[in-house]
Amino acid sequence: KDALKSIEDALMRYPDRFPDAMVHGITLRSDNGDQYTSHYFMDHVRVMKFVQEFIEKSTPEQDGDIESFHMSLKTDYIWTVEIKDFPDGERIIENAFN
């Protein structure tokens, strides 16, 4: 449910782009993890009009853009400081996007 909450939060940040919380054909690419393949998640993203796509198992190169993004986030923001607790980590990551 955390993955779905993240998507819902992102849609709420841009009400002008997604006034009805529908994305109408944006592709959502993910690995085959339990949270992305659960009926709960798949049903909800289908209602939001996402096109869901999965990378092949053991092929991170198919998800190179997000792998590169995660490495940049870690290198530039996370590994450069000592994170004291979860809220501190949230603040640091939030600052990376603002």
Run of H or E residues at 8: helix 2-13
Residues 6+ away with beta carbon under 8 Å from 81: 92
Structure tokens that stand for 73 in this block:
């986030």
Question: Would you state the pLDDT for residue 80?
Answer: 95
The answer to whether residues 47 and 93 belong to one domain is no
Question: Would you state the pLDDT for residue 89?
Answer: 94
Distance CA 48, CA 92 (A): 29
Question: Would you state the pLDDT for residue 19?
Answer: 80
| pTM of the predicted structure, to 2 decimals | 0.66
Q: Please say whether the beta carbons of 8 and 21 come within 8 A.
A: yes
> Which segments in the chain show pLDDT lower than 50?
none
Domain boundary among 54, 72, 89: 54
The answer to whether residues 21 and 40 belong to one domain is yes
Instruction: Give the residue numbers spanning the domain of 73.
Output: 58-98
Question: Would you state the pLDDT for residue 27?
Answer: 92
